[in-house]
């Protein structure tokens, strides 16, 4: 049975293309029903778990997953649903918030490079180096010419990682402004979600169009063959999980990690001889 039932390439940003996010669906399901998608997600996660064990044992390659999105789009739940069953010994999640004074004293990639995955590891970035061409651009936290140079620096950084054996998958969780409004209201009507509401998010929401422009520029300039961007329709979370879990499975199958051969001859150690 072929479990690769979702066409993930539909959401891949082709290198050199001009992205207009209004043309990308936020609620596509490719005709999948909820229960079928959930079943697919479970199968994918089991397969990814097996592949992760081989990746960790092989210790020659690594995988970097970059997650970017507007507030309420579901970065945390994506990580929980898709990567929650992975062996934490071989998977690290790093969240990038506003840089500290120490981080600001270095180049903008310094704090990110430290968390790039070592061989055998899967690293997940909850926000990333792209904050420095998204938030920084929208809020004017750096001169325009400085921001402009960062796209090329990002591409060079990701090329360096790729040349060192790191496979890179970048995911923008795409939702509409109306969807974000419903999620913000939900946080205020559910007492268990009050902690997730930040009044500052309302100010950011007023810059929605500016953020969409910043995303379009980043996606257009920084989707490459070695580090492609995917615009993931994220309003149907069950489809989001199925699509991302399948994509990660496809990528790991392509990477084809192998268990390393033993440094001894197993024939020299018959099980019955072990005491």
Domain ranges of the chain: 9-257
Report CA 45 to chain centroid distance, whole Å: 15
Strand duo 122-126 + 62-69: pairing: parallel
pTM value? 0.94
Return per-residue pLDDT of the chain as tens, 275 residues.
467 799 999 999 999 999 999 999 999 999 999 999 999 999 999 999 999 999 999 999 999 999 999 999 999 999 999 988 898 999 999 999 999 999 999 999 999 999 999 999 999 999 999 999 999 999 999 999 999 999 999 999 999 999 999 999 999 999 999 999 999 999 998 888 888 888 888 888 999 999 999 999 999 999 999 999 999 999 999 999 999 999 999 999 999 999 999 989 888 888 888 88
Which residue spans within 70-165 are E strands per DSSP? 91-95, 122-126
Q: What is the CATH number of domain 9-257?
A: 3.40.50.300
Position 1 scores a pLDDT of: 45
Q: Strand, coil or helix: what is 170?
A: strand
> Residue 72 corresponds to which tokens in the numbers above?
């309420």
- Cα separation of 39 and 24, whole Å? 25
Closest CA to 90 of 45, 47, 49, 41: 49
Helix 34-58, helix 75-83: angle, nearest 10: 70
Buried b (16+ CB within 10 A) or exposed e, 114-151: ebbbeebbbbbbbbbbbbbbbbbbbeeebeeeebeebb
Closest CA to 129 of 140, 241, 106, 143: 106
């Amino acid at each position: 049975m072929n479990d690769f039932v979702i066409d993930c390439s539909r959401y891949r940003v082709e290198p050199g293309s001009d992205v207009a996010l209004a043309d990308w669906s936020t609620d596509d399901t490719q005709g999948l029903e909820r229960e079928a998608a959930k079943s697919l997600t479970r199968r994918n996660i089991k397969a990814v778990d097996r592949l992760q064990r081989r990746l960790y044992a092989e210790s020659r390659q690594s995988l970097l997953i970059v997650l970017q999105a507007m507030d309420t789009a579901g970065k945390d739940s994506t990580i929980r649903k898709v990567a929650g069953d992975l062996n934490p010994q071989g998977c690290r999640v790093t969240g990038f918030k506003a840089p500290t004074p120490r981080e600001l004293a270095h180049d903008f990639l310094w704090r990110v490079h430290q968390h790039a995955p070592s061989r055998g590891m899967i690293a997940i970035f909850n926000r990333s180096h792209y904050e420095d061409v998204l938030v920084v651009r929208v809020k004017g936290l750096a001169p325009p010419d400085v921001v402009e140079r960062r796209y090329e620096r990002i591409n060079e950084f990701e090329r360096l990682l790729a040349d060192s054996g790191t496979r890179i998958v970048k995911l923008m969780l795409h939702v509409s402004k109306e969807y974000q409004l419903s999620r913000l209201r939900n946080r205020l009507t559910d007492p268990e979600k009050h902690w997730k509401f930040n009044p500052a998010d309302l100010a950011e929401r007023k810059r929605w169009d500016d953020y969409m422009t910043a995303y379009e520029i980043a996606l257009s300039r920084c989707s490459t063959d070695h580090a492609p961007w995917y615009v993931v329709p994220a309003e149907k979370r069950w489809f989001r999980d199925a699509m991302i879990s399948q994509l990660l499975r496809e990528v790991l199958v392509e990477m084809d990690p192998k268990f390393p051969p033993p440094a001894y001859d197993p024939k020299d150690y018959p099980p019955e001889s072990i005491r």
